[in-house]
Amino acid sequence: MKRVIKLRVNGDEYEVLTETHKTLLEVLREDLGLTGTKRGCDLGACGACTVLMDGKPHLSCLTLALNARGKEILTIEGLSQNGDLHPLQRAFIEKGAIQCGFCTPGMILTAKAFLDERPHPSEAEVKGAISGNLCRCTGYTKIVEAILTAAEKK
Ligand code: FES
Ligand code: FES
């Protein structure tokens, strides 16, 4: 069954006619063309699909788009401001925390929500914060360094 759903994504209002069973991940990627949010496992296990809803990380593969109505959704496309990369995005580049990049949008959004709540974290806290986001390339060391660097610069 199809239905018109209103979503607020990256500060923009969208009205999308879509199947009611679709996940937020599917609507973002397939209906809105926001492919920065990645589909990894589609099972809630990898964190690649993480977006922020009202500032908190959510797995968009496990969230029905219908249930995202009325929330402020932030995807990686909405993180830079006026063409300036977010400090986390800059730190990931500077520290070489990106290889294939598949985990990066979810990792950065998880880190953003974490640093918003905990601006001066310890290394152990950073590791705990990103424990739900899997990376198959980097070994995590550079990612943790990048998040700590972004925290210092804040
Ligand atoms: S794609 Fe959502 S947790 Fe892996
Ligand atoms: S950079 Fe490839 S999965 Fe993380």
pLDDT digits (tens, 9 = 90+) for 30-84: 999 999 999 999 999 999 999 999 999 999 999 999 999 999 999 999 999 999 9
Q: Residue 139 and residue 134: Cα distance in Å, rounded?
A: 10
CA 108 to centroid of ligand 2, rounded, Å: 12
CA 51 to centroid of ligand 1, rounded, Å: 11
Q: Residue 123 and residue 101: Cα distance in Å, rounded?
A: 22
CA 50 to centroid of ligand 1, rounded, Å: 7
- What predicted TM-score, i.e. pTM, was given to this entire model? 0.97
Residue pLDDT, tens place only, 114-133: 999 999 999 999 999 999 99
SS3 for 96? coil
Sheet-wide strand order for 12-19: 12-19, 2-9, 72-74, 50-53, 56-59
Tell me if 90 CB under 6 Å of ligand 1.
no
